[in-house]
Amino acid sequence: MTEIVVTGSSERRVPADRAQLQLSASNAGPERQRVVAGAGTVHERIVARAQELVASGVAESYTAEAVSTYTNSWRDEHGEQIVEHRASVSVGIELLALDEVGALTTEFAEAGIDPQVSWQLSAPARTAMLRDLRAEAVADAHTAAADYALAIGKSALELRELRDGSTGRGPVPIGAPRFAMMADAGAPPEVTVHDILVSVDVEARFGA
C-alpha cells in the first residue's frame, strides 16, 4: 500500500466583534508622594469611566493594573543631582459597541490618557469559526490525497493519521486601527473596524 502525505488548509477574514482599548498614563515629578497620588487619581478616574461603560453595555469588562513606580536620577550640567519619580497606570477595556471606539479614544486622549486600540474576536465567534475551518482543512487534505491517488492509479483512500498544524497560531488582526476625521469638526473620528484572519492547517497521512 502506498502512503500519501498531504497538507490541508482553510482561512477566512471576518470583521472583529470586539475592540480592546488599552489606556495608559503617567505622572512624573521630584516629590514621590505627590507623583503617586496624582497617578492614583488618574487611575480612579479611568476605572470609574470603565465601570460606567460596562454598566451601560458599551463594554463587556475591564482590567485595571496596579500603579507602577520607578525613580530615575542623573546630574545636570552643573553637577547637581536630579531625582525624578514616575508613576504609571494601565487599564484595559473590552468594548462591545465598536461604533463608540472613535468617541472614546478622543475622550481619553483629550483627558491626557494614551489610548491604544486592538481588534479581537469573541470566544464564541472564534470557536464557531475554527470548527468550520477545521472541517474545510480536512476536506482540502482529502481532496489533495485523492488527486495524488488518482495520479498513481489508486482509488481507495484510508486515513491513517491527522495532525493539527496550527498549534501556537491564533486569530491575527489585519492592519492597525485607521482614523478618518468626519466632515463635522465637532464629531469624533470615524474608525474602520478591521478584519481578523483566522486559519487552520492540518497534515494528513493516507494509505492508497
112: left (phi over 0), alpha (psi -120 to 50) or beta: left
Amino acid type, 141 = A
Distance CA 149, CA 199 (A): 26
Given a contact cutoff of 8 angstroms between Cβ atoms, the answer to whether 159 and 6 are in contact is no
59, pLDDT greater than 80? yes
146, pLDDT greater than 70? yes
Distance CA 200, CA 8 (A): 8
- Collapse the DSSP code of 57 into the 3-class scheme (helix H, G, I; strand E, B; otherwise coil) and give the result: coil
What is the pTM for the complete model shown?
0.77
36-50, 74-88, 172-186, range with greatest mean pLDDT: 36-50
The domain 18-120 is placed in CATH, from the list 3.30.70.360, 3.40.190.150, 2.30.30.140, 3.20.20.150, at 3.30.70.360
Average pLDDT, the chain: 90
pLDDT band, very low/low/confident/very high, at 76 (cuts 50, 70, 90): confident
Which letter, b or e, does each residue of 155-181 get, where b requires 16 or more Cβ atoms within 10 Å of its Cβ?
eebeeeeeeebbeeeebebeeebeeee
Distance (Å) of CA 114 to CA 4, 8, 179: 54, 43, 15
